[in-house]
Structure 1
Amino acid sequence: MTGLLVASGLVATVFAAITGRSHLKNKKRASLLANNLSADERAALAKDFHLYGLLPDHLRDELDGLVHVFIEEKSFEPCGELEEVTLHMKQVIAAQACLLLLNRKHDFYPRLRTILLYPNAYKATNHQGGTDVRLGESWGTGSVVLSWKSVLAGGQNSNDGHDVVLHEFAHQLDQADGEADGAPELEQGGYRDWARVFHSAYSKFTTKLNKGQKTVIDPYGGTNPAEFFAVVTETFYEKPAQLQKNYPELYDQLREYYQVDPLEWGS
């Protein structure tokens, strides 16, 4: 009986500690979420992340708060010849990453701990033991790797369908359930429609690729379903009208998942 009482007491103590930490974390998040960026920070961010300047006021305010939390909770590490990750760099990356969280129930990419930032494209060892030159990558073990030059190129051009941050953080969403398969975590009952629409769109897309036809979706999306999801996420935000015209059901699925409609934003 004494052993049971001690064990129960330890469980209660651990539970109380966890609950207390969770309460403090949520309280701190609430405080950060209430803060906007300064006017100067907003202007600088809109310059290097064009989509930020197109957002309706209420979404821009929400995104500012998400940026504050993201920067507070994630670690940024300079790599290669990059000496420092400045606050502006963090804001540009955080704003693009958190664009995917607007209006949605989320926990700020809970598996992610660190963003590794190189100044330019970097070399990495591939699965065959060779070396690739990369612009970014997403690891299911808690890191995203980015090239700052590519971050700027993607953020400053909002209509070319290429944004390395959106791409890699779409992978983070896909990897949240432990597997990168092109199907992020969805509400119960949502997987049937998602699978049907994405399978149909992927089949249509790869058929066009095999015939050498031009597509609104970047050809890299034909690599596998995981890359297809990441690439169509870029297309959804940067070429919404073209994506809706060519893949209306796919656009509707992405709009329902991301809970925003880029067609409603400025130009």
Structure 2
Amino acid sequence: MPLSERQLAAFADKHAWRIPFDTSPRYLAGPGDARHVTHGLAAAGWTRTSDPLSAEIVLRSPDHRHSLQFDPQSATSAWWRLRAEPTGTEPGWYAEFGELVPAEVLGGLTDALVSPPPTLSADPVNILEDAGWLIDGRGSAFSDPPGCTVERRTEQGDATVPWRVSARVSWHVEARDPEHSPRGPRLWHAWFDVGTPTHLVHAFVTALADSAPLQRGMYDRTAHHGVVQKPSPLTPEQVVEAHTARLARIRRQTRAARRQPEAVAPPAKEGATRSTARRRSR
């Protein structure tokens, strides 16, 4: 079911009366509005397959390979779970995210998931280093000021599986109480298993490390009392317009991808065709 005008109107009604506050750093901004994620996927053609009257939301991609589960009643620390089923040439993969992950940061990943993958993707650690994060010799990155860590873990490859011949990398993100960092209480986490495409991790950490503040209402939940908030120069109308424009871009991109002609195999060479015909005639 495509995103309806009623659903867009409900988002606009919620945010129209809220005075936005610029909130930073991003990893402490709190969950925000989950519709930054779910509306983006719906605009790309994902459909809800869960009970409409349940608090749990399960969205599935048009090709049925990918699914996203949001469970605010989860008994574990993971409220968001993103899965990809394996294909003949690509591995399956799994990623999960804690309750207080900012929806806009997770939306950076899901936007990349429904977009054509880039030809080349930079190392996520390089993105964080360029953003001013501190990098150690083991491939871990630490936010400055402290409070958030991105860790790259390398596992040995498996020569018996084509896509596991080389070393495999998983990614772990943790936001912790900045007053007791790095051992303070964990506020939220993100985990990407070894099959997760690098460009999706790249999109997540790019959104996470962005210095631009996120907008939150005066009484919105944040991840920590140490978050910095000040009145935003954006109006409520501009916040809604930015959301609407992003959804329109995703729709255009999805329609353009559907119009792309399927790859056609090149015609066989004349000599090869005759040779094949001779073999069949014997």
TM-score (norm 2): 0.26
Relative to its length, the structure with more strand (as a share) is: 2
Relative to its length, the structure with more helix (as a share) is: 1
Which structure would you say has the larger RCO, counting Cα contacts within 8 Å and 6 or more residues apart? 2
Q: Of the two, which has the highest radius of gyration? A: 2
TM-score (norm 1): 0.27
